[in-house]
Amino acid sequence: MENFDGNAGAKDNRQLEARADVLTYTSEALSADLDAIGPVSASIVIRSSLPHTDLCARLCDVAPDGRSTNLCDGVRRLRPDNAVSNADGTRTGELDLGGVAHRFRTGHRIRLQVSSGAHPRLHRNTGTGEPLATATRLAAADQEIFHDAKRVSVLRLPCA
């Protein structure tokens, strides 16, 4: 996801994370510094009420005072032709979150945000499959994210 509006960079994500349509997965407080250097990716198992949907993920560093600072993020536009559905209707979205070179300090926590959109950063997904330039309808999607023994969602964080 590129941001060319002059508002790029690290931000406090607490207001975004308070939204009902943003999931957060947060580690326990770290007992020692942790260096993460290299490419970050995520595999997220999703079931959507629509075949056309977006899957967004963002890695954040959460300070002891609760400030959640974005480090890197990625998005995947899921369509019927690029994400095969399993028998239970789930699909796995593979997301490249870019690279990171960051030290998570002792007492900080690692957080992964998961959402289904990042408008206006990402062109809005109409949910209908219509071409973006000529779309006339919008469809709301109901999303389920899975992280159980049978449907494993995972964050891959390169730690040194």
Residue 7 lies in a domain: no
Residue 9 lies in a domain: no
Residues 74-128: tens digit of each pLDDT: 999 898 888 778 889 999 999 999 999 999 999 999 999 999 987 766 777 888 8
Residue 132 lies in a domain: no
State the first-to-last Cα distance of the chain, in angstroms, to the nearest integer.
26
Domain that holds residue 91: 14-125+138-156
**AA identity, residue 80:** P
Domain tally for the chain? 1
Q: What pLDDT is attached to residue 129?
A: 85
Q: What pLDDT is attached to residue 4?
A: 53
Residues 44-83: tens digit of each pLDDT: 999 999 988 999 999 999 999 999 999 999 999 898 888 7
The domain that holds 54 is classified in CATH as: 2.60.120.260
pTM above threshold 0.75:
yes
Rounded to the nearest 10°, the torsion over CA 9, 29, 149, 45 is -10
Q: What pLDDT is attached to residue 1?
A: 46
Residues 3-23: tens digit of each pLDDT: 555 567 788 888 889 998 899
Residue 130 lies in a domain: no
Alpha-carbon Rg of the chain, whole angstroms?
A: 16
